[in-house]
Structure 1
Amino acid sequence: MQNRLMELLLFYPLFLFSLSFHEAAHGFMAEKFGDRTARIFGRITLNPLAHMDIVGTVMLPIFGILTGAPVIGWGKPVPVDPSEFRGDVRRSSLWVAAFGPLSNFFLAVVFAILVRLTYAAVPYILPNLVPGGVLSSVIGISLSIFEMGVILNLVLGIFNMIPLPPLDGGTVLRGILPVASLRGYDKFSRYSFFILLALFVSGLLRYMLIPVFFVANYLLP
């Protein structure tokens, strides 16, 4: 239990940062397409308080950390007004949705680079390391955080790309489907919450970890 609490102290702030980055990325891209709604509502920020959802930002991720289950979650939906978009609305909506998961994949690469840089620096500072000393502890904790950052952001990115609304993947899929298919897809979308709930309760979401660990093995030394 003590280890789980330590993971919570290290992991949850990292989760809040990654989630805030994800949500701010949606607002940033919407603004690039002409919609300033997210800016007006203060959602283009890394302040996690602006993005918190009691279930997706607090209850579910903390449950995952404390139980060892996959850490998934979401923030409050970023307000977007498609009528403000310049150009093709479906294309703009697709990119606004996709930019959230893409921002997590970007963070995963950044954290992987930090892991590699830390390992590369160790031989140069090894003579100054004292087992159990402050510097050793700082390096160890930093590596744990960076490695967690890779895994967490891959999980968030892949989870949000599941092609079911209200996840980003649902909006992306809607943006690439033929117009003739949209009515049927919108009808199917009514059941997406129950499908996601079934995936979570049945444990099938754990299979999402297969591509996560495959990519992580490629990114990490």
Structure 2
Amino acid sequence: MPHFLLIILALAAAIVMHELAHGVVAYWLGDHTARWAGRLTLNPLKHIDKTGSIIVPLVLAVGQFLTLGRVEFLYGWAKPVPVNPVNLRLGNYRNARRLMAIVAIAGPVMNFVLALAGGFAMHVAVAMHSIRLLDFLAYFIQINLVLGLFNLIPLPPMDGGRIAVGVLPLPMAMKLAQAEKIGIAAVLLLLFVLPLTLAQFGIQFDPFREMMGLVLPAAERVVLVLTGNGIGNN
């Protein structure tokens, strides 16, 4: 199987599980909106977002192929799972803002758990002498870490922004929440569209790659060590 397809499979699994985690936690906290919408499912077709699942990965793939001659990495997202904060409760606790923060953090936590699961699965791949499975797991770990870390950016509608809205003092939270209308457009423009456009003119500006270059290797190292794949374990 070509590496590009391995990346697609890893990305699809990561974003579906990310959104499913939001829906399941919201369901546990009393909101059944996602279930009624048919979103508590592993069927990827139910989670496709035109921009996040098709356009952004395609633009990234084409941009990398044109500038690097290969596709190294893809990013995307699924259609957000619907959540009605009014329905959320934890026992007698019904602070919707705080409980939405719990729903929000479930997505990145799921990605980090999946990255660890991928690390443990590497032992199976080694025992099977399966290079292709090892390649898939390497992409799977990397994509889940990128998705988890990227979503912790404290700007709505990223999960990190919704977490911040849930824990900040109310006046600050309200101001931050207002940024959600322009948040995703600003993120796409700054981190994806602008770098690819400038690259056509020979200008290197890629804050997303720089940011991931700083934190991703350390995160990957942590996963490998925690799952017994670190130096000295062979």
Counterpart secondary structure, 2:60: helix
The answer on whether the counterparts of 1:8 and 1:62 sit within 8 Å (CA) in structure 2 is no
Q: Could you tell which deviates more after superposition, 153-162 or 211-220?
A: 211-220
Distance change >3 Å, CA 56–CA 146, structure 1 → 2? same
Aligned length: 201
Counterpart among 121, 139, 155 of residue 146 in structure 2: 155
Aligned to 2:45: 49
Letter in 1 for 2:86: S
Aligned to 2:201: none
Distance change >3 Å, CA 188–CA 77, structure 1 → 2? closer
Letter in 2 for 1:72: Y
Aligned to 1:208: 211
Letter in 1 for 2:76: G
Root-mean-square deviation (CA), in Å?
Answer: 1.9
Are 2:111 and 1:104 aligned? yes
Aligned to 1:217: 221
- Which residues of 2 match residues 8-87 of structure 1 at below 5 A? 8-65=4-61, 67=64, 68=71, 70-86=73-89, 87=94
Are 2:195 and 1:199 aligned? no
Distance change >3 Å, CA 161–CA 147, structure 1 → 2? same
Letter in 1 for 2:117: V
1:50-99 deviation digits (Å, cap 9, x = unpaired): 11011201122233345236422111111111111112211210010110
Task: Give me the whole-angstrom Cα distance separating, in 2, the residues matched to 1:20 and 1:53.
Answer: 11
1:172-201 deviation digits (Å, cap 9, x = unpaired): 110111012123223444442343122332
Letter in 1 for 2:125: T
1:137-177 deviation digits (Å, cap 9, x = unpaired): xx010000011111010011111111111111110110111
Counterpart among 75, 93, 97 of residue 90 in structure 1: 97
Letter in 2 for 1:21: M
Higher helix share: 1
Task: Give me the whole-angstrom Cα distance separating, in 2, the residues matched to 1:173 and 1:72.
Answer: 23
Aligned to 1:131: none
Unaligned runs of 5+ in 1: 123-135
The answer on whether the counterparts of 1:151 and 1:213 sit within 8 Å (CA) in structure 2 is no
Aligned to 1:183: 174
Distance change >3 Å, CA 188–CA 56, structure 1 → 2? closer
